[in-house]
Each structure stands twice: as C-alpha cells, then as structure tokens.
Amino acid sequence: YPNDPADRAARSLKNACIGYLSYLDAPEIAAMTYERYVAADNMTDKIAALSALSGKDCDERIKAIDAFYAEWSHDPLVMNKWLSIQAASSLPNNLANVRALAAGSAFDIKNPNKVYSLIGGFCASPTNFHAIDGSGYEFLADIVLELDDLNGQVASRMVSAFTRWRKFEPTRASAMKAQLERIAAKKGLSENVFEIVSKSLE
C-alpha cells in the first residue's frame, strides 16, 4: 500500500473522521466502519476501525474483534493492542469483558506488557474504571495484590492509577481510598507498592 507522506496524512485524516463518526448512534456507521475494517490493507487502518467499533454495542464490533483475533493471535505484540482496545472501551459494564479477557489465553499476568495493555487500558476508561459503584477500583486492587507477589515494580505502576484520588468527588474518592487502604493492609507488601500507597494516603 502507498506509504509516502501524503498517503500517511490522508490515512490519518480518514481514520480521525471514522473515530468521530463512531460517536454517532447509527447502525449505518457501524456497518461502514466494519466494511473499512475488512477492506483495510494495513495495520493502521485495521486498528483505527477496530478502535472506532470498540465502544459500540453492535454485531460489527464482535465480528471485528473475532476476525482480528483469528488473524493475529499468533503475534503476542499485536495481541497487546487487541487487549488494550477492548479494555479501554467506553461500553457500559465493560468490566465483565475485561475479566473474561484476563482469564483468556491472550493474557498472562506474569507478562508486564500484557498487564500494561489490559489493566492499563482498563484504567484509561473513565466510564468503567471510574464506575460509580466502585467495581473498577476493586478490580484494580485485586490485580495489584496479585501482581505484588509476582512483580512489585509492575504492581506499583498499576497502583499509581489510585494516586489522584483526592481530585475526585467524595463518592469516588472514598472508594479509591478504601482500596488503597486495603492494599496497604497486605502483609509483606513489596517496597515498590508500599512507597506509592503510603504516600498517597498521607
């Protein structure tokens, strides 16, 4: 496919437009975006179309996700992108999907890049990580506690998502603080995590 500066700029503009169009709740947009996914002859366009579909509750999203997996499941680095796109989805109640991905073969909690892709991607979703019921915070704390026994450095990077808890309104701030206190109470907490948690609670 053409890869000169003009073509790259055209692809960038086109994919930005697809992203904006994805905010419209119109079936024809989902169908068009899926068609673009199927027709894409490069990874940039495929990722752009998949990302645009990731926040839409439609059959096209499922088809694109499954097609991407079927084509790229052999490539761990590409699968990291597949994980992060789904994890960051703005679909309500996406935590259930993230839990399923965490239990799937594409994820390995012992692999830092897998953690950054899936768990980091989830923390980048305001809709789901900051769900008012606190479920996103509880999930992250569960992961941090599990990671702490495996890799304290990775766990400390993940727990950093809680450090701005004072910036939120009382309900969310209280829920985030409760999870920090829960993590702090763990016996044998790694120095990496303890340092971040203790400073956050000061």
> What residue spans define the domains of the chain?
1-72, 75-202
For residue 38, what are the CA distances in angstroms to 21, 28, 35, 76? 18, 15, 5, 21
- Closest-CA residue to 2 (of 34, 41, 49): 41
Give the separation between CA 116 and CA 78, rounded to whole angstroms.
14
Structure tokens at 180: 């920090």
Instruction: Kindly report, residue by residue over 149-186, the tens digit of the pLDDT.
Output: 999 999 999 999 999 999 999 999 999 999 999 999 99
pLDDT at 7: 86
Instruction: Kindly report, residue by residue over 17-66, the tens digit of the pLDDT.
Output: 999 999 888 999 999 999 999 999 999 999 999 999 999 999 999 999 99
Question: Are 201 and 164 a contacting pair, CB within 8 Å?
Answer: no
Whether the model clears a pTM of 0.75, i.e. scores above it, the answer is yes
Question: Are 144 and 158 a contacting pair, CB within 8 Å?
Answer: yes
- Closest-CA residue to 157 (of 188, 112, 118): 112
pLDDT at 30: 96
For residue 64, what are the CA distances in angstroms to 4, 21, 86, 92? 28, 17, 11, 19
Residue percentage of the chain with pLDDT more than 90: 91
pLDDT greater than 70 at residue 1? no
For residue 77, what are the CA distances in angstroms to 49, 58, 72? 18, 26, 9
Question: Are 68 and 82 a contacting pair, CB within 8 Å?
Answer: yes
| Dihedral Cα 157, 118, 46, 55, nearest 10 deg | -110
The pLDDT confidence band at residue 6, using thresholds 50, 70 and 90, is confident
pLDDT greater than 80 at residue 108? yes
Give the separation between CA 70 and CA 75, rounded to whole angstroms.
11
- Top-level CATH class of 75-202? mainly alpha
pLDDT greater than 80 at residue 3? no
Question: Are 106 and 73 a contacting pair, CB within 8 Å?
Answer: yes
